[in-house]
């Protein structure tokens, strides 16, 4: 299994697990909270069949990556991503981020620019700025996130049970776009994540990506479910699409937060149409 070392904690290395499949123009998939790279299982085959090279990795603290005690902020997440890009020698690549992963897409552009980035896709993303403030009245009150943080710290297993009901809108989609077994599989992945990461990432959701989005100057696709109960579309995607010059917004009607699973066919169609019907020859080395 391939890993890239992105740092150290005391006597141990901090490593990111990644998978690298196929040939062609590279597409880097960045997963959401509290999942791992395997959550892209409905997108990976579609991308490979279309001729793309697909790289998916586990964020620090999640999946098969290291679980350090700290580093759960977007400057560090973007740095981890940059180290993976450098390690693989990627050029002319597309970044695709879901939920929390949308923050990496934005912060990567803000911190490192878009040189080498071909296109960007944000699915159910948390940008531009979720926290309600004097200059961000469209945001969500901070007490909501404080309550989430406390609930995760008190009993994250119980929290995730309720969380995934709204992650997939199980009351409306169970037996249609999602199965009980798939929800349980997501819970199992979440349960194996770092307890420290599960708590610390809540604060990271409140980082301000508005300045980062201003630097996202490549073709950008924003996809979001209109029935998203985790990240409301009005506070996120619709605003993000206005902040990124020339961005295209695609709304999945009645889609929940994880539309990449429940509405995979629709998401894949829009994703592939945006990327192009066939991959260009890879420019990676």
Which residue in 65, 99, 236, 284 is the catalytic one?
A: 99
Q: Which residues on adjacent β-strands are paired with residue 8?
A: 13
Tokens of residue 185, six digits: 């599989």
- Matching residue, tokens 């085959």: 45
* 99 catalytically annotated: yes
* 31 catalytically annotated: no
Rounded distance, CA 217 to CA 246, Å?
9
Which residue in 31, 224, 257, 263 is the catalytic one?
A: 257
Closest CA to 24 of 267, 219, 278, 272: 278
Inter-residue contact 8 to 70 (CB < 8 Å): no
| Residue 183 host element (H or E) | helix 180-191
The Cα angle at residue 119 between residues 116 and 124, in degrees rounded to 5: 130
| Residue 211 host element (H or E) | helix 210-213
* 228 catalytically annotated: yes
Tokens of residue 62, six digits: 């999640």
| Residue 147 host element (H or E) | helix 142-167
Q: Which residues on adjacent β-strands are paired with residue 47?
A: none
Residue 250 is given by DSSP the state E
Closest CA to 4 of 59, 54, 44, 46: 59
Inter-residue contact 126 to 98 (CB < 8 Å): no
Q: Which residues on adjacent β-strands are paired with residue 123?
A: 98, 223
Which residue in 58, 208, 212, 228 is the catalytic one?
A: 228
Rounded distance, CA 186 to CA 182, Å?
6
Would you name the residues annotated as active-site residues?
99, 228, 257
């Amino acid at each position: 299994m391939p890993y890239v070392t992105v740092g150290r904690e005391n006597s141990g290395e901090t490593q990111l697990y990644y998978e690298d499949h196929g040939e062609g123009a590279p597409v880097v998939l960045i997963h959401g909270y509290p999942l791992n790279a395997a959550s892209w299982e409905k997108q990976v085959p579609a991308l490979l069949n279309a001729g793309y090279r697909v790289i998916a990795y586990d964020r620090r603290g999640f999946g098969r990556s290291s679980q350090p005690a700290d580093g759960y902020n977007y400057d560090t997440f973007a740095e981890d991503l940059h180290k993976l890009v450098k390690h693989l020698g990627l050029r002319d690549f597309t970044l695709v981020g879901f939920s929390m992963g949308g923050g990496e897409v934005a912060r990567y552009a803000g911190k490192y620019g878009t040189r080498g980035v071909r296109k960007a896709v944000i699915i159910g993303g948390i940008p531009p700025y979720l926290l309600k403030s004097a200059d961000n009245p469209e945001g969500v009150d901070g007490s909501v996130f404080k309550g989430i943080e406390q609930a995760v710290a008190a009993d994250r297993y119980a929290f995730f049970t309720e969380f995934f009901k709204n992650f997939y809108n199980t009351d409306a989609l169970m037996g249609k776009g999602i199965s009980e077994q798939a929800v349980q599989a997501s819970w199992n992945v979440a349960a194996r994540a770092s307890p420290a990461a599960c708590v610390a990432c809540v604060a990271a959701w409140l980082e301000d990506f508005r300045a980062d989005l201003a630097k996202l100057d490549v073709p950008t696709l924003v996809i979001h479910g209109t029935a998203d109960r985790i990240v409301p579309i009005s506070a996120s995607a619709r605003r993000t699409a206005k902040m990124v010059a020339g961005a295209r917004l695609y709304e999945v009607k009645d889609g929940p937060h994880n539309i990449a699973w429940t509405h995979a066919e629709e998401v894949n169609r829009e994703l592939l149409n945006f990327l192009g019907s066939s991959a260009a020859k890879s420019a990676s080395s």
